[in-house]
Structure 1
Amino acid sequence: MSSADAVIREAAWLSSFSPTDGLPALLAAQDGPFDVVQPYHPRTPASRQRQLYVLRRRIQEVRTANVRRMARHLFELRIVWPASSPTGSAEVVQQSLDEAVELVLQRIGGLMLDKTHGGRFLSVAEDPAEVAVDFADPAPSLRDRADLTCIISYSADDVEING
């Protein structure tokens, strides 16, 4: 593992699904809410699709011992949610975004007693034990028939290395 592939590892966790682990699916192909779950933001994002992009905002090198260090990643999940519904109700669209965010939070929380995201990290959302969700004001998006957006941020500690 390398800190260079942390975004790819986290996107793999978010898009993975096992019907036996109790965690929700996020991809629409597995009955989840998102059409797109991918690492990095594309040059030309899909239009009118429910999208989740995994980005990294920061890497912090943490010295854990004299010759040991660990990379701490600050992840940002950027959600883009179409502001349209078959009923034309703006409230229904906002509620469906809230429901999708809840599923993402469950997926970030991971398995009971395993905060490693399937062994991809030492721990996720544990130090600090915080996940933040910031919603953009929906009024301009609804007025302009644009997409609703929100950002979910949290940290992940990578495996320790000598250095």
Structure 2
Amino acid sequence: MSSADAVARETAWLTGYNAADGLPALPAALGGPFDVVQAYLPRTPAQRRTQLYVLRRQVREERTAHVRRMARHLFELRIIWPASSQTGSSEDPQQALDGAVELVLQRVGGLMLDKTHGGRFLSAAENPPEITVDFADPEPGLRDRADLRCTVTYWADDAEING
């Protein structure tokens, strides 16, 4: 495991799906709400698509003992949601975004007794034990028939290494 592949590992967790574990699917191909779920931002994001991008906003290396250290990653999930609807309602896409965010929170929260995101991390969204969702003001996106946006942030701890 390398600190450099943390975004890829988290993306694998978010794009994975196992009906038996009770966690929701996020990619539309698996029945989820997002047309795009990928690591990093592309140069030109898709137009009129529901999108979730996994970014790493910060990494901290903390010394946990004299010869042990642990990388802590601050993940940002950037969500871009079309502000238009077939009914012409401005409320419908806002409600749909809220529903999609709820599924993301369930997926990030992980399994009841396993907060490692399938063994990819020591723990995720546990230290500190919080997930933050920041919604951008919807008015500009609705007015311009553009996109609604929000970010979901949380920390993930990597396994300790000698060093």
**Any idea what SS the aligned residue of 2:21 has?**
coil
Output the TM-score relative to the length of structure 1: 0.99
Number of residue equivalences: 163
Looking at structure 2, the residues matched to 134 and 15 of structure 1 have their Cα atoms a distance apart, in angstroms, of 22
1:82 aligns with 2:63: no
Residue 4 of structure 1: aligned partner: 4
Looking at structure 1, the residues matched to 49 and 27 of structure 2 have their Cα atoms a distance apart, in angstroms, of 12
Extract unaligned runs of 5+ from structure 1. none
How far residue 6 of structure 1 moved from its aligned partner, in angstroms, is 0.1
% identical equivalent positions? 74
Residue 157 of structure 1: aligned partner: 157
How far residue 151 of structure 1 moved from its aligned partner, in angstroms, is 0.4
* Cα shift readout 1:95-124 (whole Å, capped 9, x = no counterpart): 000000000000000001100000000000
How far residue 126 of structure 1 moved from its aligned partner, in angstroms, is 0.6
Extract unaligned runs of 5+ from structure 2. none
**Any idea what SS the aligned residue of 2:149 has?**
strand
**Any idea what SS the aligned residue of 1:87 has?**
coil
**Any idea what SS the aligned residue of 2:14 has?**
helix
The root-mean-square deviation of aligned C-alpha atoms, in Å, is 0.4
1:140 aligns with 2:130: no
Residue 15 of structure 1: aligned partner: 15
**Any idea what SS the aligned residue of 1:20 has?**
helix
Residue 69 of structure 1: aligned partner: 69
How far residue 129 of structure 1 moved from its aligned partner, in angstroms, is 0.5
1:31 aligns with 2:31: yes
How far residue 141 of structure 1 moved from its aligned partner, in angstroms, is 0.6
Looking at structure 2, the residues matched to 146 and 49 of structure 1 have their Cα atoms a distance apart, in angstroms, of 11
Residue 58 of structure 2: aligned partner: 58
Residue 104 of structure 1: aligned partner: 104
Looking at structure 1, the residues matched to 80 and 19 of structure 2 have their Cα atoms a distance apart, in angstroms, of 26
1:127 aligns with 2:107: no
Runs of 4+ in 1 over 2 A off after TM superposition: none
Q: Structure 2 counterpart of 1:158, which letter?
A: D
Q: Structure 2 counterpart of 1:64, which letter?
A: T
